[in-house]
Chain A
Amino acid sequence: MIGKILGKTYVGIVMLFLYAPIMVLIALSFNASRSRVLWTGFTLKWYTALFHSNAIMKAFGTTMALAFLSAAIASVIGLLAALAIYSMKRRDYKIMLFFTNIPLLNADIVTGIALMLWFVRFLPLGFSSVLMAHITFNIPYVILCILPKLETMDIRQFEAARDLGANSAYAFTRIMIPDLIPGILAGFFMAVTMSMDDFVITYFTKGAGVNTLSTLIYGEIRKGIKPEMYALSSVLFLLVLIILIVVNLLTGSEYKNSERR
């Protein structure tokens, strides 16, 4: 009994450690004064200020455009690559996975520097260089979300469709794609969140003039953080929470389907 209580207390303390800083940020976004320690009343003025700040809104737009564009392009390249890798013989399969793992395992700082050294050769650093960098680190996440789905998929259904006269494109879109949709969506949203969260690689490849939310906040830390940033962090957290719940519902319903089978 005592062990149980101790256990619950321990898990509670770990939860507190994980959530206290986030809760403080969210609380401060509703704090009337600029004080970082004193509660002086409830306000929504930082939220309205947030939407009137040009720098923040511009960075928000850049972040979102980057996240969804890089995730979409990475999803297409990644889906095609996953299908190809799945059909490869063992040796080629391993080689492809090795290269897929490089951006995941390598230090962000090295990936960022490497891309920057390469980009400065042929293109001005800016939105397009950051976009290419984000696609680069997003593709592996997409592949690693889709590949397990392919491996557990019942390929006989596809072959049956072919035997019954469907051409491969038709059989692919009608049989395989519906089975793969949860994996593709999981990979896509994974890529979106990875792109939104990235700082280091963006920092090295962005050049002057372009800012994502991460780099904007980093630049402001030295000057002193404005309360608008707390409001922004709460909005971002809510946004990611919604994305995660949607993705979970999508993949969750798929689990139920496979159980029914």
Chain B
Amino acid sequence: MNRKKIQVLSIPYVIWIIGFTVIPLLFVFAKAVTSPQGAFTAGNLIAIFDPVHRKALFLSIELAFISSILCILISYPVALILRSSKIRNKKIILFVMILPMWMNFILRILAIQMLISKNGLINHFLSLLGLGKISIINTEAAIIIGMVYDYLPYMLLPVLNCVLAIPDDIIEASKDLGANRFTVLTKILIPLSLSGIGSGITMVFVPSMTEFVIANILGGGKIMLLGNVIEQEFSVTMNWNLGSGLSVTLMIFVLLTTLISGRTVSETDKGFVI
């Protein structure tokens, strides 16, 4: 085949990449290193060390970290249980487990809000049972619940795919060679599923860290993550330069996360179950 001729087909996409991915990002960088008057400054980038911003950054990382760990702790046992079960069509189970993520994102958070709010369904049932009320709405715990609920399917999908793909022969062989169940888990199953866990972490940690909607709805607008600070700079304070500077910082952390977990988006991601 004539390679050169076929590669001409990529021209619309290359134009699109330059016009809608590269140039817009350059604009963010340009805004980040200038003052509103247009003079060159590093102030917007250094602004992350401002106590308010630093606190927001640390809180974002902390909540994203806790959410990712919780997602792993919930997903991994599910993968192990499904692996050892005799159900023939495991793809169907996988489909059912990730189905909720196709519900509109905002509606899912709204549903969580209705469940855990002060006059919500959970408190209603608790009072029917004569138990005390829980008050987690507008706390960091509520935000974590929202994040875990929203992003759990992103962890379930790669982890399940990865664990279910480990061949039985390897497990059999190790058992024949005298490995007990704990050794099989720590020396075979976990090492062989690290790639799934890795892409799961990217898929959970990055959106959690950059989140502002969940914090707005479940945190009552009082708990500020870095995403909330940036959103406010663009919609309330209207300091686009500072907002861009903080966005660049956020991008650096996103980049670090993907480098550490060592995964790019691949066939294990959302939707490729179909």
Contact = CB atoms under 8 A, between A and B. Distances in A.
Interface of A: 4, 7-8, 10-11, 14-15, 17-22, 24-25, 28, 36-38, 77-78, 80-81, 83-85, 87-88, 92, 96-97, 99, 101-111, 113-118, 132-133, 135-136, 139-141, 143-145, 148, 158-159, 168, 186, 189-190, 193-194, 196-200, 204, 213-214, 217-218, 221, 225, 229, 233, 236-237, 240-241, 244, 247-248, 251
Given A84-B10, A109-B227, A118-B27, A240 B111 contact: no
B46 interface: no
Nearest to A36: B114
A221 B102 CA distance: 20
Interface stretch (B50-58, B115-123, B130-138, B185-193): B115-123
B31 A117 contact: yes
Given A141-B271, A244-B102, A101 B21 contact: no
A4 B80 CA distance: 12
17 contacts: A15-B97, A17-B149, A24-B114, A24-B115, A81-B12, A83-B6, A84-B13, A85-B10, A107-B207, A109-B250, A114-B247, A117-B27, A118-B20, A139-B13, A159-B1, A193-B271, A236-B107
Shortest beta-carbon contacts, A-B, top 4:
A21-B111, A84-B10, A107-B210, A81-B13
A135 B16 contact: yes
Contact of B210 (A85, A109, A148, A213): A109
Contacts of A141: 271
A144 B74 CA distance: 28
A104 B265 contact: yes
Nearest to B221: A222
A24 B31 contact: no
B84 interface: yes
B213 to A, nearest CB: 6
A200 to B, nearest CB: 7
Given A10-B78, A18-B152, A107-B254, A244 B274 contact: yes
A197 B10 contact: no
Interface of B: 1, 3, 6-10, 12-13, 16-17, 20-25, 27-28, 31, 74, 77-78, 81-82, 84-85, 95-97, 99-100, 102-108, 110-115, 119-121, 124, 149, 152-153, 202, 206-207, 209-210, 212-213, 217, 227, 230-231, 234, 240, 243-244, 247, 250-251, 254, 258, 264-265, 267, 269, 271-272, 274
Contacts of A194: 271
Contact of A139 (B9, B16, B202, B264): B16
A37 B207 CA distance: 31
Contacts, number: 229
B265 A110 contact: no
A113 B149 contact: no
Given A11-B81, A136-B20, A148-B267, A217 B104 contact: yes
B207 A11 contact: no
Given A14-B78, A84-B9, A21 B115 contact: yes
A223 B83 CA distance: 46
A196 B217 CA distance: 20
A110 B105 contact: no
A241 B102 contact: yes
Contacts of A233: 103-104, 107, 110
Given A24-B114, A107-B207, A236-B104, A87 B21 contact: no
B121 A24 contact: yes
A77 B104 contact: no
B227 to A, nearest CB: 5
Contacts of B85: 4, 7
Contact of B103 (A15, A22, A81, A118): A22
Given A18-B152, A18-B153, A99-B21, 5 more contacts: A20-B115, A84-B9, A99-B17, A111-B24, A135-B16
Contacts of B258: 105
Nearest to A162: B1
A248 B99 CA distance: 13
A25 B5 CA distance: 53
Contact of B28 (A80, A110, A214): A110
Contacts of B213: 199-200, 218
A101 B226 CA distance: 23
Nearest to B266: A144
Nearest to A4: B85
Interface centre among A11, A15, A105, A237 (most CB of B within 10 A): A105
Contacts of B17: 99
A117 B207 contact: no
